[in-house]
Structure 1
Amino acid sequence: MTRVRSIVRGVGSYLPQKIVTNAELAKTVDTSDEWIQQRVGIKERHVAAEGEFTSDLATAAARAALDNAGLTPDDIDLIIVATTTPDYTFPAAATLVQMKLGMHHGFAFDVQAVCSGFVYGVTTADSYLKNGLAKRALVIGAETFTRLLDWTDRTTCVLFGDGAGAMILERVELADGEPERGIIASALRSDGHHWDKLYVDGGPSSTGTAGHVHMQGPEVFRHAVGKITDVVYKTLEQSGHTVDDLDWFVPHQANKRIIDGAGQKLGLPPEKVVMTVDIHANTSAASVPLALSVAVGDGRIKQGDLVMLEAMGGGFTWGASLIRW
């Protein structure tokens, strides 16, 4: 008897060349490097260049993931892009990535769950693969989130950055006795009653504009740690694993205090927590795959490791996915 699993074949990332430090922001808004680092742990962020769009970032990350996996676009038959900042209202950014990769086959679509988007995308791809609708999926989290910012609002403009990260998943059949691999369990949640705690005040149906980010920071913080740990425990319960079994915890990179708080509540030592918020800031749906790419690239995450992905975003949405690397 065999078990169908979605295994990770490769990861990749892309960051725009332009870096904006806290000191540079302090020249245009009432803030300081000390204030930002104390509250959220961010030192710098990347900002997309003029004319550099979300699909461009996503395509660069996709190519890096394909190189990492030793695959070509011909080997992919599903593309999912998690993004809040697509190039256009439509078509989907995923179809633009498909075009830029030179693909005429397969299918592509976007997922919109804000900062939880990549985890939602991974879980969605896992379902498609297990149901036989695709053999290999390219899941990308990509954002030009800085284009939603009011650069005079110091409560939000210091928090976000741009970037993209990608993962390639492949459907395999594991025979009895083979070691566990791939996505083991996932859990997704949402509660729209909290929409006004983190939102953008625009949209095609309401204002006909993109709008700007608004956030009730203390309220988001108050909900974050509890929701994060709840979904992690649920995923572990489904899998039969415990926190002690985890080799790595890769959370959404929004705020160092939230990441530290979740790690402490879970009882995870800091050395098992991957943190890149200091150099990437909050890149929304791109933050988890960017952090993954860093930890795989520097050799921390290796084959056989048990890795927990987690994210929470506006909506509220939140979710977790447990992967045997």
Structure 2
Amino acid sequence: MNIKISGSGCYIPTQVITNNDFGQFDFRDEKGEPFKDTNERIAKKLQLITGIEERRYVTTELTTSDIGAFAAKKALEDANIDPETIDQIIFAHNFGDIKHGTIQSDIVPSLASRVKQRLQIKNPNCIAYDLLFGCPGWIQGVINAYAMMQSGLAKRCLIIGAETLSRTIDLHDRDSMIYADGAGATIFELTNEEGGILAVNSASYTLEEAFYIHYGKSYHPDLDPDTKYIKMYGRKIYEFALTCVPLAMKACVDKSGIEISRIKKVMIHQANEKMDEAIVQRFYELYDMKMPEYIMPMNIHKLGNSSVATLPTLYNMIINNQLENHQLEKGDILLFASVGAGMSINAFVYQL
């Protein structure tokens, strides 16, 4: 028996936020001092480095569990299965539900439980739980489901990755321009078909790296220091990712036994275009190869960094032929990889 994707869905929020929308923001440095550069120049630099031109935010009435449920419903419809046959619902997120206009995170009950209720699943043997693993959370959900299905404890799992990062940002931190909202969901199940998950790999680096992404006070000195926002040490993350992620990707591919030349697409977390390109280039250098053209699909230009939602959303867009120069066929081999808060890294090799 193999473990394959039988359904996929995503929810892309309707509010389009362009770089120009940050024109009136009062950006500060870590010391609370205003930048000498204009916001226009700051936004242009961000676009050159990250590739982000636009990002999507949820409307005021929606929360993370809401959009996660939207994506889950689409995945169920795509798979054409009875929701009562789902054995596990794994919801990857980082900040829970944060209602518009508030600063408090709500994760009780779990977001997975809320989705199960919205799907009106009655089966008590359908286990719903949340997973916090930074941006690689959706992949870790896939790895957890893979282990459960290999052990015989599950036959069909729904893995959701959703986040509303627009409600965790410090409006005085220029890094706030990176983050976005979104949701993606996939159904994995045991099947007699060929292919599926061929290998998985996961790691956590915490000794020095645990707080590279963290919660911290606003950069504006007049704001309440006890109100926290998502913060990151960008340079440290960049250096860490370029060193460790290619090695993790290679370990996963080597474990799969697949020749590197057979990989059709490298599906990497949409965090920063320049960083992602450098990671994939270094990955191929480990095999003494040049990075192939069109190997790395990207949707960060229009959708921004939506954390755990980026990879399931990217996959959904590609299989629905929504990205130019990126088409897939049965039998194609994909390498999924991600890095994020923790610091966590993971990957899996998948054959369609």
TM-score (norm 2): 0.85
- Unaligned runs of 5+ residues in structure 2 are 27-37, 98-105, 218-225, 285-290
CA contact (8 A) 2:182 2:306 kept: yes
Distance 1:6 1:210 in 2: 43
Structure 2 counterparts to residues 276-315 of structure 1, below 5 A: 276-298=299-321, 300-315=327-342
Partner of 2:238: 221
Structure 2 Cα separation of the partners of residues 91 and 78 of structure 1: 16
Letter in 2 for 1:67: E
After superposition, the C-alpha distances for 1:176-196 in whole angstroms (9 at most, x for unaligned) are xxxx41111000000112122
* Displacement after TM superposition at 1:78 (Å): 1.0
Cα distance in 2 for partners of 1:65, 1:80 equals 14
CA distance in 2, matches of 1:210, 1:228: 32
Structure 1 distance, partners of 2:182, 2:91, is: 13
What CA deviation, in whole Å up to 9, does each residue of 1:23-48 have, x standing for no partner?
Answer: 11123245334222112110111111
User: 5+ residue gaps in structure 1?
Assistant: 175-179, 203-208
Deviates more, 1:60-69 or 1:245-254: 60-69
Q: Is the 8 A contact 1:84 1:145 kept in 2?
A: no
Corresponding residue for residue 69 of structure 2: 59
Distance 1:183 1:260 in 2: 24
Residue 162 (structure 1) aligns with:
181
Cα offset, 1:85, TM superposition:
2.0
Confirm or deny that 1:26 pairs with 2:30: no
The AA in structure 2 aligned to 1:263 is V
Classify 1:149/1:270 alpha carbon distance in 2 versus 1 (closer, same or farther; 3 Å).
farther
Q: Which runs of 4+ in 1 moved over 6 A?
A: none
Equivalent-residue separation in structure 1 for 2:63 and 2:178 (angstroms): 20
Question: Per-residue displacement from partner, 1:102-122 (whole Å, max 9, x unpaired)?
Answer: 012211101100101011000
Kindly name which structure, 1 or 2, has the bigger radius of gyration based on alpha carbons.
2
Q: Does 1:120 align with 2:140?
A: yes
Aligned pairs for 1:109-188 within 5 A = 109-154=129-174, 156-173=175-192, 180-188=194-202
Distance 1:210-1:274 versus aligned 2 partners, 3 A rule:
farther
The residue number in structure 2 matching 1:68 is 78
C-alpha separation in 2, matches of 1:270 and 1:51: 41
Tell me the equivalent position of 1:177.
none
CA 1:248–1:210 in 2, change beyond 3 Å: closer, same or farther?
farther
Residue of structure 1 in register with 2:262 after alignment:
245
Cα distance between partner residues in 1 of 2:311 and 2:155: 23
Cα distance in 2 between the residues matched to 1:152 and 1:122: 35
Letter in 2 for 1:318: I
CA contact (8 A) 2:213 2:342 kept: yes
Q: 2:122 — aligned with what?
A: 104
Aligned amino acid, residue 48 of structure 1: V
Letter matched to residue 31 of structure 1: N
Q: Distance in 1 between matches of 2:64 and 2:53?
A: 23
Residues 1:231 and 2:248 are matched in the alignment: yes
> 2: distance between equivalents of 1:259 and 1:158?
18
Work out whether residues 243 and 266 of structure 1, in 8 Å CA contact, stay in contact via their aligned partners in 2: no
Number of matched residues? 311
Shift, 1:255, TM fit: 0.1
Residue 180 of structure 2 aligns to which amino acid in structure 1?
G
Q: Deviation digits for residues 202-234 of structure 1, max 9, x if unmatched?
A: 8xxxxxx87211111111111112222111101
Corresponding position of 1:191? 205
CA RMSD of aligned residues (A): 1.7
**Identity value in percent:** 27
What is the rounded CA distance, in whole Å, between the counterparts of 2:142 and 2:63 in structure 1?
Answer: 22
C-alpha distance in structure 1 between counterparts of 2:159 and 2:107, whole Å: 20
